[in-house]
C-alpha cells in the first residue's frame, strides 16, 4: 500500500523548515493567480503546471515516477480512472494524512486546497473548453439562485477553501486509516465535488449563451431629457454613493483596485484583501466613508461632479489625503479608517503595528475606496 511505501519518508521529510517552504510555495502560487482566484470570474482559468506539482514532489523527496510505479502495483486503485490513479493527487493526500495524524488540521486543509486548485482548472477546461464569454458568465453568476453555493461566497478561492475543509472534515477518519482504497475514494470524492459544481454553473452558462443573455456594465442609461430634470449635484452624489455602497456590501468589486491601492507601498495584497472583506462584513461606517469622500470632492475641488469618473478625481483625492486639511469630511474618513484598523489588524499578524505600517494600511484602504468610487461613477 502507498502509506507503507511512502508514509515514513513523508514524515521524515516534512520538517518545520520544509513545511514553511511548502506554505510559501502555496502562498506564492495563490498570489500569482489572485486576479482570478480572488474574484468570482469564471470566464478565465489559471494554469497549474509541472513546476507547481514539483513543489510537493521536491518537498518530500518522492518522484512522480516512484508514485506511478507504486500506483501500478496497487490492486486497490483502478488504473482506468485518471483521477483516482493520479500520482499528484494521491501524493497530496498522503501528505494530508501525515498532517491529520499530527493533528495539524490547518496544514491538512491547506494541502487539500492546493490540490483543489489543480482540480478546478482541469475541470474548468472540461466544462469550458475555450474559456467563456465574460459578459455571459457575469450574467450567469449574477442570476444564479441562492441554491448555488457559489452565490454564498465572495471568491473562487473562498469556494475552494470551504470545499477543502468540508472534504477534510467528512473524510478525516478515512484519511488517517489511509488504505489505497481510502485514498482513491477520497480523491474521487473531492474531484466530484469540484467538477459537479462547475458543471451546474456550466449548464446555466450555456443556457444563457443560447438565449443571448449577457450582463452589460452600462446598465444605467438616462435620456437627455431625464438628465436636464434630475442631474443636479445632490442626485449625482446620491447615485454614486448608492451604487458604490451597494457593490461593496455585496462584495462586488474588482480585485485590481486592491493592486492599485498598494502601488508604491509595502502593503500586503492578501492582508489588504482580508481587511477590506472584514470592513465590508462589519458594515460599520462603510456608507459614511463613501459619502464623505464624494462630499469632500464636491465641496473642496470646485470641479463638476462629472469628474468623479475621471482620473482627475483620483489625483485630487490622493493629494487631498496628504494635506493637513481640517475639513469635517476628511477627518471623519481618517477616523473611521483608524477604527477599522484597530478593530481588525490584529487578525493579520502582530497585535500592534508600527506607526509607518499603520499609516501605509490606512492610505491603502482610503485609496481602495477612492478607486471604487471612481469606477462606479464611470458606469
Q: Give the pLDDT of residue 217.
A: 45
pLDDT tens-digit map of 114-123: 999 999 999 9
Mean per-residue pLDDT for 44-65? 96
* Each residue's pLDDT tens digit, 258-300: 998 987 678 889 989 999 999 998 888 899 999 999 988 888 8
Percent of the chain with pLDDT over 90: 54
- What average pLDDT does this structure show over 299-303? 80
Q: Which range is most confident: 92-106, 145-159, 309-323?
A: 92-106
At 252, list the grid cell: 462586488
Which of 268, 265, 295 is CA-nearest to residue 369? 295
The 3-state DSSP class for residue 282 equals helix
Q: What sections of the chain are H helices per DSSP?
A: 2-13, 16-32, 34-37, 50-60, 64-73, 87-101, 105-127, 134-142, 156-177, 180-211, 224-230, 233-249, 256-261, 269-282, 286-300, 311-322, 328-344, 355-378
Reported as a single tens digit per residue, the pLDDT across 235-249 is 778 888 888 998 898
Average pLDDT over residues 55-74: 97
- How far apart are alpha carbons 363 and 370 in whole angstroms? 10
Q: What percent of the chain has pLDDT over 70?
A: 91
Is this structure's pTM higher than 0.85?
Answer: no
1 and 74 Cβ atoms separated by less than 8 Å: yes
Given this model, what pLDDT does residue 325 score?
59
Higher-scoring residue by pLDDT: 7, 298: 7
If we measure between CA atoms, which residue out of 153, 331, 182, 107 comes closest to residue 250?
A: 153
> Mean pLDDT across the stretch 37-52?
89
Summarize the confidence of residues 248-256 as an average pLDDT.
89
Please give the average per-residue pLDDT across 50-69, as a whole number: 97
Nearest to 144 by CA among 153, 292, 256: 153
Please give the mean pLDDT across all residues of the chain.
87
User: Band of the pLDDT at 350, cuts 50, 70, 90?
Assistant: low
- The pLDDT value recorded for residue 221 is 41
**Three-class SS string for 193-222?**
HHHHHHHHHHHHHHHHHHHCCCCCCCCCCC
Q: Which one, of 359, 315, 352, 318, lies nearest residue 337 by Cα?
A: 359
67/41: higher pLDDT:
67
162-221 residue pLDDT tens: 999 999 999 999 999 999 999 999 999 999 999 999 999 999 999 988 888 776 544 444
Confidence at residue 149, expressed as pLDDT on a 0 to 100 scale: 78
What is the distance between the alpha carbons of residues 77 and 184, in angstroms, rounded to a whole number? 6
Cβ contact 377:240 at 8 Å: yes
Least confident among 323-332, 359-368, 369-378? 323-332
Task: Give residue 267's Cα distance to chain centre.
Answer: 17
> Is 158 exposed, middle or buried (CB count within 10 Å of its CB: 0-12, 13-18, 19+)?
middle
The residue with greater pLDDT, 366 or 154, is 366
Nearest to 309 by CA among 245, 368, 234, 373: 373
The angle that helices 105-127 and 87-101 make with each other, rounded to 10 degrees, is: 160
Amino acid at each position: 500500500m502507498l502509506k507503507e511505501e511512502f508514509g515514513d519518508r513523508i514524515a521524515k521529510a516534512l520538517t518545520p523548515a520544509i513545511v514553511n517552504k511548502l506554505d510559501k510555495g502555496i502562498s506564492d502560487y495563490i498570489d500569482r493567480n489572485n486576479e482570478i482566484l480572488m474574484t468570482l470570474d469564471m470566464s478565465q482559468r489559471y494554469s497549474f503546471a509541472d513546476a507547481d506539482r514539483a513543489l510537493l514532489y521536491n518537498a518530500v523527496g518522492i518522484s512522480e515516477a516512484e508514485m506511478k510505479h507504486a500506483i501500478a502495483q496497487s490492486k486497490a486503485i483502478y488504473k482506468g480512472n485518471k483521477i483516482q490513479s493520479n500520482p499528484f493527487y494521491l501524493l497530496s493526500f498522503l501528505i494530508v494524512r501525515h498532517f491529520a495524524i499530527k493533528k495539524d488540521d490547518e496544514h491538512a486543509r491547506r494541502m487539500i486546497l492546493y490540490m483543489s486548485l489543480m482540480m478546478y482548472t482541469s475541470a474548468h477546461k472540461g466544462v469550458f473548453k475555450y474559456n467563456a464569454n465574460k459578459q455571459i458568465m457575469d450574467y450567469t453568476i449574477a442570476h444564479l439562485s441562492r441554491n448555488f453555493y457559489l452565490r454564498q461566497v465572495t471568491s473562487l478561492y473562498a469556494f475552494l477553501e470551504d470545499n477543502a475543509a468540508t472534504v477534510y472534515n467528512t473524510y478525516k477518519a478515512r484519511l488517517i486509516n489511509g488504505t489505497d482504497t481510502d485514498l482513491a475514494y477520497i480523491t474521487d470524492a473531492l474531484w466530484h465535488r469540484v467538477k459537479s459544481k462547475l458543471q451546474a454553473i456550466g449548464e446555466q452558462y450555456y443556457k444563457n449563451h443560447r438565449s443571448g443573455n449577457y450582463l452589460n456594465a452600462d446598465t444605467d442609461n438616462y435620456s437627455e431629457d431625464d438628465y436636464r430634470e434630475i442631474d443636479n449635484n445632490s442626485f449625482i452624489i446620491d447615485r454614486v454613493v448608492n451604487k458604490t455602497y451597494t457593490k461593496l456590501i455585496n462584495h462586488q468589486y474588482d480585485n485590481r483596485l486592491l493592486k492599485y491601492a498598494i502601488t508604491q507601498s509595502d502593503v500586503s495584497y492578501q492582508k489588504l484583501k482580508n481587511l477590506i472583506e472584514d470592513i465590508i462584513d462589519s458594515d460599520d461606517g462603510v456608507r459614511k466613508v463613501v459619502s464623505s469622500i464624494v462630499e469632500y470632492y464636491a465641496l473642496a475641488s470646485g470641479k463638476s461632479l462629472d469628474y468623479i469618473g475621471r482620473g482627475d478625481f483620483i489625483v485630487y483625492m490622493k493629494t487631498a489625503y496628504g494635506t493637513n486639511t481640517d475639513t469635517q469630511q476628511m477627518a471623519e474618513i481618517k477616523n473611521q479608517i483608524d477604527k477599522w484598523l484597530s478593530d481588525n489588524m490584529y487578525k493579520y499578524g502582530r497585535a500592534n503595528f508600527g506607526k509607518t505600517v499603520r499609516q501605509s494600511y490606512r492610505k491603502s484602504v482610503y485609496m481602495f475606496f477612492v478607486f471604487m468610487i471612481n469606477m462606479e461613477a464611470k458606469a
